[in-house]
Amino acid sequence: MQAFKAGTRPATVMHQIAKGYSDDQIAAITAWFAAVR
């Protein structure tokens, strides 16, 4: 998510979506995905 937000990971839409989240929100999202996996 951080790479999408920074634009260092290529994407068509995800980088635009990720820019809408704060760093704290991205951390919460990634923690949730790690927990449910």
pLDDT of residue 32: 96
6-28: pLDDT as tens digits = 889 988 898 888 889 999 999 99
If one counts the domains in the chain, the total is 1
In angstroms, the CA 12 to CA 2 distance is 15
The domain in which residue 28 lies consists of 2-36
Give me 36's structure tokens.
């449910």
Residue 34 pLDDT greater than 90, yes or no = yes
Pair 10, 16: CB distance under 8 Å: no
* Residue 21 CB burial class (10 angstroms; 0-12, 13-18, ≥19): middle
